[in-house]
Structure 1
């Protein structure tokens, strides 16, 4: 993965509306909202232009938000798409009117797949990273004698959730620390490598720590785990939208993310990626309307929760 330049980062942010509110209504972009200039255009170096970008967000005057790792505001274009579709379904809640949301949801799925370098059948649309993490934690067949290795900087939904599941299923949870001032990616990898045993079944870690900002070399670590038959859960809450992502290049089995952080997308919209070869190993923990159809659509079975995904 590479760090996107300033223009690319902003274009990703404004693209969040396309990811999770695909085919937004024609009037969702209010006249006067800023549009990104072509790549190489001189405006991208003009601070006046970036002032217009700032005006595309509903920020309080004089306020500078510094905690994007927790929650980012959505630009007007995203807000208006969400509001417009909500008004649409509230104005006509009939099955006939709501039928269009199936195709819109699939358009969002396709956009997400392109954005993170995955196949459409590997994508489930969730409510957030936490839901995706818990789907993986509760859906794997782990028993007494198995062990799960966690990074000690994981978010609670990729940490405490494993403890709770272990108390029911009887497997062991182990946590490892990485050097506080690593000199190379190899030092980070070595910390995980030395903890792996023949009993290790899952390796779960944050791509980027929300506590320290440390980024784990995910492709290298996932490759090491796969060579030993270990499944990998990569928590991408702090990487999706901030880094260029390619699931197939990284090689993780599971990847989770939210749209309300670096993507600056709508709230209550998230991503669960499940590698095609791993789908059969992960049970769906929630069953709702359309379950039988969802079983035929790859990772779609992990989002069968009635109407919660109707407007993502």
Structure 2
């Protein structure tokens, strides 16, 4: 059993805070790190190394360990929506094929796919909420529906946003890979409370923020890009991801 973690947070006795799914309380150590970060800009003469890459690379390496990746597979972003948009920008979307997603999905994992389906002539298939709550069986049925167009992209999540129902990515991804589909995962609801191993799952892209179960700040997110998806274009081009006009190696090009 996990012992009490109360001493790690600035939560007064008598306060029971439960909204970790949307606005988690920061641990004292995270608050201290944030304050140190502010000081590097408030008193920059005291922090000559603040603009070096060491802190970013440390965060990249920690993220890689968390999901079974390598640091070269990780891009640092400001949100999950940026991660999903990066994936969408770099995927082939053949006319007439399907984009598959689940009903009542979080907007970051829905809006861009809905728009692209309309713009590029793809069939948008939104798997309806199953009466029995089985969010694994329902997508499996949709994937193998007789006569349906091939799936170009499947937008998935390990835990459904609206009700936290478990989605067995292992089962879905095996079938999707056999069908030749590209797989984009939003792991926001799951990472930090259940193990996620990209070596096992083999998604094309997987995005997540720090503000929920990872007990971090808003405006910080990460994108895993599989090795064969690391030659695309970022959402914007800057001195970090394209220094001297040369794209950064690996997923860093998406920073």
Instruction: Identify the TM-score tier after normalising by the shorter chain.
Output: 0.7 to 0.9
Please provide the CA RMSD for this pair.
2.5
Which ranges in structure 1 are unaligned for 5 or more consecutive residues?
A: 1-5, 8-43, 45-49, 304-312
Say if 1:248 and 1:224 are closer, same or farther in 2 by CA, change over 3 A.
same
| CA shift for structure 1 position 61 | 4.9
Are the counterparts in 2 of residues 177 and 191 from structure 1 also a CA contact under 8 Å? no
- Residue in structure 1 matching 2:106, options 141, 155, 172: 155
**Aligned equivalent of 1:284:** 234
Aligned partner (choices 157, 164, 170) of residue 213 of structure 1: 164
2:29 equivalent in structure 1 = 77
Task: Work out whether residues 147 and 199 of structure 1, in 8 Å CA contact, stay in contact via their aligned partners in 2.
Answer: yes
Greater Cα shift, 224-233 or 131-140: 131-140
- Matched residue, 2:63: 112
Task: Compute the TM-score of the two structures, normalised by the length of structure 2.
Answer: 0.88
Task: Give unpaired runs (5+ residues) of structure 2.
Answer: none
Question: Which segment drifts farther, 62-71 or 115-124?
Answer: 62-71
CA contact (8 A) 2:67 2:198 kept: yes
2:74 equivalent in structure 1:
123
* Equivalent runs, 1:153-192 vs 2, <5 Å: 153-182=104-133, 185=136, 187-192=137-142
Helix, strand or coil at the partner of 1:98: coil
Match of 1:235 in 2: 186
What is the deviation of 1:154? 1.6
Structure with the bigger percentage of helix? 1
Query: Which residues of 2 match residues 1-312 of structure 1 at below 5 A?
Result: 6-7=1-2, 44=3, 50=4, 53-59=5-11, 61-92=13-44, 96-100=48-52, 102-182=53-133, 185=136, 187-195=137-145, 197-280=148-231, 282-293=232-243, 295-303=247-255
How many equivalent residue pairs? 252
1:189 and 1:172 mapped to 2: Cα distance?
Answer: 15
Three-state SS of the structure 1 residue aligned to 2:242 is: helix
Distance 1:106 1:145 in 2: 41
For residues 277-301 of structure 1, give each alpha carbon's deviation from its aligned partner in whole angstroms, at most 9, with x where no partner exists.
2223x43222122343472411111
Q: Is the 8 A contact 2:99 2:117 kept in 1?
A: no
Q: Which shows bigger deviation, 294-303 or 241-250?
A: 294-303
Structure 1 61/180 Cα, relative in aligned 2: closer, same or farther at 3 Å? farther
